[in-house]
Amino acid sequence: MRGLNTLLLERGDFASGASGHNGRMIHGGLRYLGNGDIGLVIESLRERATLLAIAPHLVCPSTLLIPVRDGARHPEWMLRLGLMALDALALWRFPRHRRLDRRAALARVPSLRPDGLSAGFVMPDAYAECAERLTIENLLAAVAAGAVIRNHAPVTRIEPIHGGQLRVTWQEADGEKAATAPVVVNATGAWTDAFLSRAAGVNSALITRAKGSFIVFEPRDGTPREAVFVESPADGRPVLVTPWQGNILVGTTDVVIEGAADTAATTEAEVDYLLAALDEAFVPGTFPRSAICFTYCGVRPLPTAAGPSHRITRKHVIHRHPAPLKGLISIYGGKLSTFRSLAEDATDAVFALLGRTSPRSMTARTPLPGASGAVDAAEAFAPLAEVTRRRLQAVYGTRAGQVAALARGAPDLAVVVDTESGAIAAEFVHAVRVEFAQTLSDILLRRTLLAYRPGRGRSAIGTFRTVAAAHLGWSEARIEADIAAYEAHVAATSGTRFHAPPAARGPIRVGAA
């Protein structure tokens, strides 16, 4: 958007790393006040307001209930001071927090454990149920502005050549490709150091890799209908309980990992850590182990620092590499809430390396594609059911009519593939033709998010098989390989392996979380 010729190369699928494995909340930064990170709090609050304005279909206002318990690490007076500070730092752009007495807190979330509960606070927040789609819409905007993007295109080498240029080599399905550029931005997240070593021959220790794991529960009587912020009895860290995709999302942990980021997985110790926080905050039986549907985890690329990872700043870092890789920049740190400001700062750094005056960034004032243009009229969705219309507008915003048009043009694309959400087969075709998806996993995990709903999208696989052959021209071998790969992912993340009680599994190392 600022006039740079831009090529984006992604090893896997877009948002297949931490951008698609997070807590879905666009936080104002309450917990960063405790670390004295006032600048990050101000940035988070500003960016929350920005995302609510430029992506209102994907980032929605929400509330967060904070129970107050006798003997907690953070007593009521401390919480009140922190919330008052957040109200002031937000410059009153959001509703103020409010206090609930014990009775009102229990009326709002009846499953809260009543013993020891003294009060509660309700604070404003924001929520991105389909966080992956923030990535997709940024890509759509970039392509519209002239960017060239490739996914499933791993970079294999970065090397300096004549004239101060860098040559980047990558692999695609039809062979090896290369391009030259004066500046290359390494935005590989948890793979930052490993990528620099493998592709550029740079031995670095720029990041601490901190895994965050989440448990997804099936909803039951008493599970909360709004986000609840509870405190871990082990270390006082916050644990969020959030209604999400028809389930309940609980997380997160903060565990430094030493092995490869590709092998990161939720452990038994992390599940026990999260269950302990739930047992402390909610009445027994609200979150039984047997109700765990599946788990997922992401790995944070935090700046290298000593001490526990939850104390390491979430500010982003822009690292300029010296000669002979003078045009190489590595970016890391940051968080979901502040992705846009990180991108703005990184682009400023690119212009500085180029020795050019940077045009002013307009991303804070430019709606994402699904928030621009007119809202489609009701007749654009005929004869789709109301539940489908609501879903399409929530997921695609003002672009929903594009999906509805596919369904109008081919009756087999109007088939509902998930009755609860109203998702339709046309979304599969749209994901591939318009939103860069190349596999079934891309479609279910990061375009439609049906993989995270009850049933994990399996009810849609039969329709996918038919649609991929009839409308996408995919071969039977490709379709079956895709289905097998997706089923393997579902099996690997299934929550059933955590259903046995700890005594039946043997001892678990304490302190892993």
Cβ-in-10-Å burial (0-12, 13-18, 19+) of 248 comes to buried
pLDDT at 235: 86
The neighbour count for residue 161, using CB atoms within 10 Å, is: 10
List the structure tokens of 113: 């454990």
Within 13 Å and on the Cβ side, how many CA atoms surround 374?
4
Please give the Cα distance from 183 to 166 (Å, whole number).
7
SS (H, E, C) 111-147: CECCCCEEEEEEEEEEECCCCHHHHHHHHHHHHHCCC
Whether pLDDT at 358 is above 60: yes
Arithmetic mean of pLDDT, 462-480: 97
Contacts with 259 (C-beta within 8 Å, 6 or more apart), sequence order:
none
Whether pLDDT at 79 is above 50: yes
Residues paired with 178 in a beta bridge: 169
Residues paired with 423 in a beta bridge: 418
The answer to whether 87 and 97 are in contact (CB under 8 A) is: yes
pLDDT digits (tens, 9 = 90+) for 433-458: 999 999 999 999 999 999 999 999 99
Q: For residue 513, what pLDDT band results from cuts at 50, 70 and 90?
A: very low
Single-letter amino acid code for the residue at 350: V
Does the reported pTM lie above 0.85?
A: yes
Query: What does the DSSP assignment read for 28-90?
Result: --HHHHHTT-HHHHHHHHHHHHHHHHH-TTTSEEEEEEEEEETT-SS-HHHHHHHHHHHHHHT
The neighbour count for residue 421, using CB atoms within 10 Å, is: 21
Whether pLDDT at 359 is above 80: yes
Average pLDDT, the chain: 92
Whether pLDDT at 389 is above 90: yes
pLDDT at 502: 63
**309 vs 14, which has greater pLDDT?**
14
pLDDT at 463: 97
pLDDT digits (tens, 9 = 90+) for 85-106: 888 888 777 889 999 999 999 9
Long-range CB contacts (within 8 A, 24+) of 501-504: 501/289, 502/268, 502/272
pLDDT at 510: 34
Whether pLDDT at 419 is above 60: yes
Single-letter amino acid code for the residue at 287: F
Q: Of 17-31, 179-193, 348-362, 462-476, which gets the smallest average pLDDT?
A: 17-31
Q: For residue 507, what pLDDT band results from cuts at 50, 70 and 90?
A: very low
The alpha carbon of residue 163 and the mean position of all alpha carbons in its chain are separated, in whole angstroms, by 39
Q: For residue 497, what pLDDT band results from cuts at 50, 70 and 90?
A: confident
**Cis peptide leading into residue 252 (ω within 30°):** yes
Choose among 351, 302, 355, 356: nearest CA to 331. 302
Whether pLDDT at 481 is above 50: yes
**315 vs 406, which has greater pLDDT?**
406
pLDDT digits (tens, 9 = 90+) for 126-165: 999 999 999 999 999 999 999 999 999 999 999 999 888 9
The neighbour count for residue 148, using CB atoms within 10 Å, is: 12
pLDDT at 24: 93
